[in-house]
Amino acid sequence: MLDQESALAHFNLGSVLDETGHVDAARQHLRQAVRLNPIYPDAHYNLAFVCEKLKAYAEAKQHWQAYVRLDPRVPGRVTRANAALLPRRQSPLEQPENPFRLQPAKQGRVSAGKGGSAKRFV
């Protein structure tokens, strides 16, 4: 019997339902886990993935943001969560490992010369 007031019970059931392909039911239980414990980062994390599977991208984005806000110490997950905030062209699973990595600044400026060649001024 499922304890209706246990966020952990709803989280566990939602996770199992997702893994067995019952995504709609998984979303219901993961939503209940978040309702019962809104500061449970793993519930937001799993719910975001389930929402992605159901193409509920606006809801997924809310849960990715909640996850990052609640548990920013987990670098691998934060990278995937941040990828969900990119424009919707691909699934976050198809995004580069770290889409927000900054490239080092180059010194000087570049100007296009005749014939399309570039010249660097330092």
Residue 122 in domain: no
pLDDT band at 14 (very low <50, low <70, confident <90, very high): very high
Q: Mean of the pLDDT values across residues 94-117?
A: 48
Residue 64 in domain: yes
- Its domain, for residue 87, covers 7-98
Question: Domain holding 57: CATH number?
Answer: 1.25.40.10
Residue 49 in domain: yes
Say yes or no to pLDDT of 106 above 90. no
What is the per-residue pLDDT across 42-84, written as a single tens digit (0 to 9) for each?
999 999 999 999 999 999 999 988 988 887 665 555 455 555 5
Residue 70: predicted pLDDT:
84
Residue 76 in domain: yes
pLDDT band at 28 (very low <50, low <70, confident <90, very high): very high
Residue 110 in domain: no
Residue 71 in domain: yes
pLDDT band at 89 (very low <50, low <70, confident <90, very high): very low
Share of the chain above pLDDT 70, in %: 58
- Name the domain count of the chain: 1
What is the full DSSP assignment across 45-114? HHHHHHHHHTT-HHHHHHHHHHHHHH-TT-HHHHHHHHHTTS-TTS-GGGS-S-TTPPPPPPSSEEEE-G
